[in-house]
Structure 1
């Protein structure tokens, strides 16, 4: 797994690969079908971004965030951090557009903003 983490960064993107199609219950959000392919999740951490990323990478943990429900099925390939200047929602939109990403689950990771999701899917390998 490739990890690029900068101490002053407050945004991050986690890229993982799902080996086979799965129906997964994402907490109270509902059950969704996740196709085989690449998934990118964008989040933020105002402080201690390293700890947040380390938690997301762990498989065995108490389920707290939407990503925690998807994580056991993903092979994490890359984690990249970013300066917080553009904002979490703008970073997600930029990466989604750059990769032609599709929203697989409405509301995933975006319960505290007005975005449709903070998770996108791509059949082809995504670039962070």
Structure 2
């Protein structure tokens, strides 16, 4: 059971083969192979949101849904809401030495560059 104070999550997605994708209105992108971390939030029922992200067959609703079929989820970590989704994304990016590969990904309701992080180095994500 997930702690009820946890409304933030980080999904670690491993992409084994580069792919060309279209992410809704954001446009066309090239995903490199490697590990990506997507930071999101669910104010209500985080377990349902996580379960949805684990599914491959679903209606596309969020940016993450566009890249999900191209990789395998290696882990999902939940966090307390106190830091906020934007600060968590930036904290994780710095912690893993990652970059933001797609402008606006997961951040259409804030001013962040992105909530998707790409790990440049072959390293174990946090």
TM-score normalised by length of structure 1: 0.93
Distance 1:109 1:25 in 2: 14
Kindly report which structure 2 residues correspond to 1:38-77, keeping only aligned pairs within 5 A, or say none: 38-77=35-74
Matched residues, number: 125
Counterparts of 2:63 and 2:74, CA distance in 1: 19
User: What's the offset of the Cα at 1:74?
Assistant: 1.3
Aligned match of 1:24 in 21, 25, 29? 21
Residues 116 and 126 of structure 1: is their aligned pair in 2 closer, same or farther, counting only changes over 3 Å?
farther
Q: Matched residues in 1 for 2:124 and 2:41: separation?
A: 19
- SS of residue paired to 2:74: strand
Deviations 1:61-115 (A, max 9, x none): 0000000000001110000000000100000000000001111111000000000
Give, in whole Å, the separation in 2 of the partners of 1:110 and 1:83: 19
Gapped regions of structure 1 (runs ≥ 5): none
Runs of 4+ in 1 over 3 A off after TM superposition: none
Residues in 2 aligned to 1:9 and 1:43: alpha-carbon distance in whole angstroms: 11
What is the CA RMSD across the aligned residues, in angstroms? 1.3
Q: 2: distance between equivalents of 1:13 and 1:5?
A: 14
CA distance, structure 2, for counterparts of residue 82 and residue 126 of structure 1: 19
What does residue range 104-123 of structure 1 map to in structure 2 within 5 Å?
104-122=101-119, 123=121
- Partner of 2:125 in structure 1? 127
